[in-house]
Structures are given as C-alpha cells and as structure tokens.
Amino acid sequence: MSEPPTARHEPVRRESADRESAGRAPAGRGPWAALTRLVRCPVCGDGLEVVERSLRCPQRHTFDMARQGYVSLLSGAKPTVNADSAAMVQARTAFLEAGHYAPLTRALARITASLGLPGGGEDGTVLDAGAGTGHYLAAVLEALPGAVGLALDASPYALRRAARAHPRAGAASWDVWRPFPVRDSCVDVVLNVFAPRNSAEFHRVLKPDGVLLVVTPTERHLHELRDRLGLLEVDPDKEERLERTLSGHFVRERTEALEYTVELPPQDVENLAAMGPAARHIDPEELRERVAALGGPVDVTASFGVSVHRADSSPSVQA
C-alpha cells in the first residue's frame, strides 16, 4: 500500500478571526475560492479552505501554493507514475500551440457544450485527471461559462502551465492512481485525455448525472512516424481495454471518431516525439538525427476516439 501524502501541520495561532479572514482575502479572488467545494484533505479527508497562500483543513494539515500557482497536495509522497520532465512539457506546449491538435481541442469543447449539463454548465465543475499543461481543460471551460476546473497531474513542470491555463482553473499535484483529493459526487465532467484511467475514482467523484469524456488514439494515429522515429505502437486492443477498465463503473453513451491529416515541419515532428513516452527511451540527439532523415515536412495522420460515458447506476455498482 502506498504511503499517504504528508502535509505541513500548522499550529493553532492565537490570532483574531478578523486577521485570519484578512489573510484569506487575496487568495479568494482566484479559482481556489470556488474549488474548495471540490477538494478535500488527502491526509484526513476533511474539507479544505483557502488561508493566505495555502489550503488548510480543520485538523491544520496545510498545503502550500507554489510560486507558480499550483497547490502541492502530493508533497512528501512519491508518485507511482512517470511524471513529465521539463523538456517533455516544453515540447508539448510548443506542439499544441502550433495548433496541430486544434480539431481535437474544438471537438472536446463542442461535445462538452452539447452534454446538457444543468444550467448549461453554469457553476459546473470539471476535473481533468492527468491534465498535463491544462490545454484541453481550458478549452472545455471556455465552452462552459461560469464553470470551474481542477487540473491534477504529477509533473510540477506541467502544473506550472496548468495553473495559468485558464482564469477559472486551478492545478494541484497528484498521482491519479491514488484516491483523488476530491469529495464524493461533486464533479459534473471528468476529462481523461491520453492519461491513466482510475475508473473507480472517476465514478466516486462524479455526480449521478455527471459525464466522463475519454480521448484515446486509434491504431492509425501517427502511423507514418512510428517505425521511422521509433514511437510506441498503439495497442490494437486499446478499445477493448478501455471497455474492461471502465466496465462496472460506466456505460458508454457514444463515441465520436476524429481523423485528419496534418503537415508537420521537422521541428514539430521532433516536438511530437519529444512530448510523449518515446522521449523516455530515445536519446534527444538520436531523435534529431531520425527527424532530419525524414527530409522535410511530413504528412501525418491524427486519429482519435472521443467517447462519452455515463455512470453505471446498476445495483452492483451502488453496493
């Protein structure tokens, strides 16, 4: 069993209520004032409130906000996932900002807006588990005016960007294989984009009428580059594995296929390879040599499945 996260234990100070309230006021202007209705203390499970530049529970477990804006909820605990490095995050940011996955970003926003959330998503809540830089979370929040979003990721380099991805988004360090530091039945939409899937936790935190959106690559995704660059193969049974992972907790409502061809110049090809799992087993210099051998811009297939899942309300799940 993994060790629980550690937190700074703040001693009780003999301060007046007025002074403590004054200390909370500046942080209250950011997204965390609203996000406290989602999060809970990862040590004891109590609620958290904003106190100056920290989140604190009634037991005085205190989690500081980093200078870059994200909250360190995972402090002292070793993640069980391979967190993205600074170089991987830099490559991903450059690739996404070039717009090559813009059709996917727009599709996620459109599908979210069509879900028929109560009040059109006004005052809604979105959880992005394995959010990376918060790129897709920001697009979804734009489609849900008034909603707030929480980005969870284990990479501090990604979280620095996720904390600034959208004015209504907050970011926190977390290992998505652990029980989430999120209250039961409080989330309207869970996003899972190219990230690990903790289906039991997705089910626990979603409201009864909440929705899980999952994005997975198909077998055709980037097939022109796999052998030439040494990219990892897409599991041909990926869809079956997705069904097995979510079965017992979710029922698939629909899947939307998205496929298009994009022309990638050499630098963007390098960023594409450097932002994913291949970056962990290909030397950067070797990757540059492989990209140079391509001889110029390359037409590449981008192919995804975007699936909508609703919570399974059968008695076996509720038990």
Compute how many other C-beta atoms are within 10 angstroms of the C-beta atom of residue 259: 13
3-state SS of 140-194 is: HHHHCCCCEEEEEECCHHHHHHHCCCCCCEEEEECCCCCCCCECCCCEEEEEEEC
Report residue 242 as tokens: 């997705």
Q: Say if 193 falls within a structural domain.
A: yes
pLDDT at 9: 59
* 280 contact partners, CB below 8 Å, separation of at least 6: 82
Which CATH number covers residue 297? Answer: 3.40.50.150
Residues 60 and 90 both lie in one domain: no
Structure-token match 């055709």, residue found:
220
Residues 92 and 59 both lie in one domain: no
Among candidate residues 209, 192, 41, the one with its CA nearest the CA of residue 124? 209
pLDDT at 235: 66
E strand or H helix at 93, and its extent?
helix 86-97
pLDDT at 51: 92
Among candidate residues 180, 93, 85, the one with its CA nearest the CA of residue 128? 180
Q: Say if 249 falls within a structural domain.
A: yes
pLDDT at 75: 65
Using CA atoms, how far residue 75 sits from 7, 254, 279, in Å, is 7, 38, 26
**For residue range 191-205, what is the model confidence (pLDDT) as tens digits?**
999 998 999 999 999
Residues 33 and 102 both lie in one domain: no
Give phi and psi for 169, each to the nearest 5.
-120, 140
Residues 157 and 22 both lie in one domain: no
Residues 52 and 136 both lie in one domain: no
Residues 248 and 285 both lie in one domain: yes
Whether the Cβ atoms of residue 77 and residue 4 lie closer than 8 Å to each other? yes
Q: Say if 2 falls within a structural domain.
A: no
**pTM exceeding the 0.85 threshold for the entire prediction:** yes
Share of the chain above pLDDT 70, in %: 83
Residues 132 and 55 both lie in one domain: no
Q: Say if 35 falls within a structural domain.
A: yes
pLDDT at 319: 45
Q: Where in the sequence is the domain holding 15, given as residue range(s)?
A: 8-64
pLDDT at 299: 95
Residues 18 and 95 both lie in one domain: no
Q: Say if 59 falls within a structural domain.
A: yes
Residues 26 and 150 both lie in one domain: no
Q: Say if 145 falls within a structural domain.
A: yes
**For residue range 49-106, what is the model confidence (pLDDT) as tens digits?**
999 889 999 999 999 999 899 998 986 656 556 789 999 999 999 999 999 999 999 9
Q: Say if 125 falls within a structural domain.
A: yes
pLDDT at 50: 94
Domain count, the chain: 2
pLDDT at 29: 53
Please list the ranges in the chain whose pLDDT falls under 70: 1-29, 75-81, 118-122, 232, 235-238, 314-319
Q: Say if 76 falls within a structural domain.
A: no
